[in-house]
Amino acid sequence: MKRTLLISAICLSASALFAGTPSFDFDLTSAADTLKQSTDTSHFFMGRREILVTNGGNDIHFIRNRFSEEDEVQSQNKNPLNQFNSHWESFNFGIGGFGSGIASTSVGDNDGYIDVDPIRSFAFHWNIADLSFPLTSGKRIGLVSGIGVSWDFYALSKKNVWLDKDDNGLVHFDTIEYKRNKLRTCNMVVPLMLEFHPVDNHSLYIMAGVEGNLRLGARTKHVTDEGVKNKHKSDFYMNPLTCNMVVRAGYGLFGVYFSTALTPMFKDNKGPVVYPFSAGVSLNF
């Protein structure tokens, strides 16, 4: 009974997490390699990671590598692109905003209408899968790529601004004071990063590199005091392809990251010159 409640809680938590994001099919059971149960133990497998639930659901253990040394060697021989124990695959949650330049955290005076409140703006990045291989014989340094999806929600500081576009570029109008005024973007992410393992067990890691972003969509959302919601979808003259510089570090399952854009968010002469940034924590799997 406890095991059933545990699985239900995980599913409900996942549903709540993705409720505010674009819809997509995410099934924890189908995403796992297999699920096997004994009288008092449950094993959840996802990639090389294993979640072991014992004592009727009272104890939870995280095992990073579920393969034996022999199995790991055989797996690497079959797939030469995954011979390095990378930490790219992860869920990432942080806060974000816009800057007037690379690594800046504030916009220029002329672009104040698109300034955001970082405390109420957040980023959710799902790094789905990786491809990696070592660059040194001891597997301390590796090259990592992969694929992921990012959702960024920016709460505009000025709640009476309505963003739109015309033939000349991005435009903004003063309107009623909204309770919430947000800009949301969605991107497909492809990284190219170097990862360094300072210690032999490879649990401690430092990563640095770039991420290419393909814009999948954008929209604004306005909510009035009466609860009326208005959504407006547009490309807002955003660059369809952008590039970020990213630094990641952590130990085992947990880490931190910082990302700043190397290219402006909007096309030349079509919108304000702003560079998105985000920083937060990651749960590696």
Global confidence as pTM: 0.72
CA dist 168 and 138 (Å) reads 56
Note down pLDDT in tens along the chain; length 285 residues.
444 444 444 444 444 443 444 443 444 444 444 444 444 566 555 555 666 667 655 666 655 555 444 554 454 454 555 578 899 999 999 999 999 888 788 888 888 899 999 889 999 999 999 999 999 888 899 999 999 999 999 999 999 999 999 999 999 989 889 999 999 999 999 999 999 999 988 899 999 999 999 999 999 999 998 889 999 999 999 999 999 999 999 999 999 999 999 999 999 999 999 999 999 999 998
* Domain annotation for the chain: domains and CATH numbers: 2-66 (no CATH), 90-284 (2.40.160)
Q: How far apart are CA 220 and CA 233, in angstroms?
A: 7
| Phi, psi (deg, nearest 5) at residue 79 | -130, 90
The pLDDT of residue 104 is 81
Query: CB atoms < 10 A from the CB of 236, how many?
Result: 24
Rounded to whole angstroms, the Cα distance separating 136 from 229 reads: 54
DSSP 63: E
Looking at residue 165, its pLDDT comes to 92
Q: How far apart are CA 91 and CA 21, in angstroms?
A: 14
Confidence (pLDDT) at 17:
40
pLDDT of amino acid 64: 54
* Beta carbons of 184 and 152 less than 8 angstroms apart: yes
The overall longest dimension of the chain from CA atoms, in Å, is 67
Which of 42, 61, 49, 44 lies closest to 2 in space, CA to CA?
A: 42
Q: What is the DSSP letter of 135?
A: S
Q: Which residues pair with 271 in a beta bridge?
A: none
Buried b (16+ CB within 10 A) or exposed e, 156-170: bbbbebbbeeeeeeb
Quote the pLDDT of residue 282: 97
